[in-house]
């Protein structure tokens, strides 16, 4: 009878430790850092296809609309 009681207590202790370990909250993950402001480039949207590209690479028409390529500038706005 004494051995049975010891085994039950030992089993209960193992179960209790296992349950307390599984209930621990996960370690908080590091939030993603925002992009560096000093390396960010001003962007423009192509008036024809909507693709975003750096303003240094845009092709403009006489009205000042930004395009991603001379071909899209020649096509004009989408119909």
The pLDDT score that the predictor gives to residue 18 is 83
Q: Place 17 in a pLDDT band, splitting at 50, 70 and 90.
A: confident
Residue 52 to residues 7, 60, 68, Cα–Cα distance (Å): 68, 14, 8
Give 20-76 pLDDT, tens digit per residue.
777 666 666 777 766 666 677 899 999 999 999 999 999 999 999 999 999 999 998
Whole-model pTM: value is: 0.50
Q: Compute CA distances 20 → 25, 51, 79, whole Å.
A: 10, 52, 64
pLDDT value for 27: 64
| Confidence band for 1, pLDDT divided at 50, 70 and 90 | confident
pLDDT of res. 31: 73
Residues 6+ apart with CB under 8 A from 66: 44, 45, 46, 47, 55, 58, 59, 60
Note the pLDDT of residue 69: 94
């Amino acid at each position: 009878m004494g051995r049975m009681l010891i085994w039950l207590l030992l089993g209960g202790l193992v179960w209790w430790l296992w349950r307390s370990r599984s209930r621990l909250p996960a370690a908080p993950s590091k939030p993603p850092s925002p992009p560096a402001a000093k390396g960010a480039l001003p962007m423009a949207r192509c008036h024809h296809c909507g693709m975003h590209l750096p303003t240094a690479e845009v092709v403009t028409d006489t009205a000042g609309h930004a395009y991603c390529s001379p071909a899209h500038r020649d096509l004009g706005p989408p119909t």
